[in-house]
Amino acid sequence: MSQNKPIWMEESAVFMIDQRLLPHRVETLRLDSYPETIRAIQEMAVRGAGTIGVAGGFAMAQAALDAPEAGFWEQTQRAAEEISAARPTAKNLSHAVDRVFSAMRKEKETAAARRRAVSEAQAFYDENVEMSEKIGQAGLPLLPQGKAVLTHCNAGWLACTGLGTALAPIFAAHRQGKPVFVIATETRPRGQGAKLTVWELSQAGVPHALIADTAAGHFMSRGEIGMVIVGADRIAANGDTANKIGTYTLAVLAKEHKIPFYVAAPSPTFDAGCPSGARIPIEERHEDELLRAEGSLHSGEQASIRVATPGVKARNPAFDVTPAALITAFITEAGLIQPNSAAISVFLSGK
């Protein structure tokens, strides 16, 4: 499982699995410049906070390789700003760009800065893979016996590299031959659960079932869910967490039914400079994602069809914020972290 690679870099080109085409087709995009990589991030060819971060690091390396000798630092600074703004909610993106650019700035010669950018971007990727393995091990003892694990959106290797985040303990358990059953929400409006999570689970042979987003409370009330585990796009200093729209609803339902609610995320997802969830920028995407549905016809042809009343307008926030009080704990590369300012500060101070 850890050998799956959603994204990689060869020389000055970035390659990534085009997640928009899954599960019907597996195709690889080749992106030859940082503006192309930015578009891939914006158009969700690549998605998931961890993999978006890796893409941002590689895009910064591309910008360093492409920048002319004259005005090198001015141009790479502008590129860093453009890449960081590609998607505003995921903290991993700006974290990766800042890390690569800061490493470049330590070099006096532009040739050395270019080499440093590439090596730092690759190091960021490698560390994400390692962190996902540790998250998997940290979450493994928490998995319920005799009940299902509920997950929302997609936080496996496509979204986060390595084993992923929310799916990492599940993949780790399956790899060790331990029984685990996953219930995945479809995750409207883009269907990341239906298109990506169940595809990953199927590829790995993990037993699972897909449900409508609105069916989660039904299965919780019947006692079939033993744990909820989700990923995160940004975690504020006080523990408030932004994740895919619908996560907050699941957290409220989990509290009502006394089901533990865990958030799996590596340290780059935490934002010490953001005091609370009220300060997390929430991306609102185009209404067509809600008004239309995309999929494969019986002929195999990809199609987009309108499903809503003609002329209707829609609101389409991509994320919501779950208050820290609804979170049982964070599952990180350093183990379990309590969802409060003090514990998060101690965790981040060791980074």
Domain CATH code at residue 35: 1.20.120.420
Catalytic residue among 18, 66, 98, 233: 233
Average pLDDT over residues 204-233: 98
Which pLDDT score is estimated for 178? 96
Residue range(s) defining the domain that contains residue 235? 142-349
Residue 98 bears catalytic tag: no
Burial class from Cβ neighbours inside 10 Å (0-12, 13-18, 19+) for residue 202 reads exposed
Task: State pLDDT tens for residues 239-264.
Answer: 999 999 999 999 999 999 999 999 99
pLDDT higher than threshold 90 for residue 233: yes
What is the identity of the amino acid at 278?
A: A
Reported for 11-16, long-range contacts at CB under 8 A and 24+ positions apart, including other chains, are: 12/62, 12/65, 12/66, 14/40, 14/55, 14/58, 14/59, 14/62, 16/40, 16/45, 16/46, 16/51, 16/55
The C-alpha angle with vertex 349 and arms to 343 and 351, in degrees rounded to 5, equals 115
Cβ burial of 300 (10 Å; 0-12, 13-18, 19+) is exposed
What pLDDT, on the 0 to 100 scale, is given for residue 294? 85
Work out the pLDDT band at 3, boundaries 50, 70, 90. low
pTM: 0.93
182 in a structural domain: yes
Count of structural domains within the chain: 2
Rounded CA-CA distance 170/188 in Å is 23
pLDDT digits (tens, 9 = 90+) for 38-55: 999 999 999 999 999 999
* Shared-domain flag, residues 149 and 280: yes
CATH number assigned to the domain comprising residue 278 = 3.40.50.10470
Name the pLDDT band for 1 (thresholds 50, 70, 90). very low
What is the pairing mode between strands 302-306 and 292-296?
A: antiparallel
- The residue from 76, 98, 133 where one domain ends is 133
Q: Does any domain span residue 2? A: no
Examine residue 1 and state whether it is found in any structural domain, yes or no: no
Would you say residue 240 lies in a domain? yes
Count H helices, E strands: the chain?
13, 16
Do residue 58 and residue 165 come from a single domain?
no
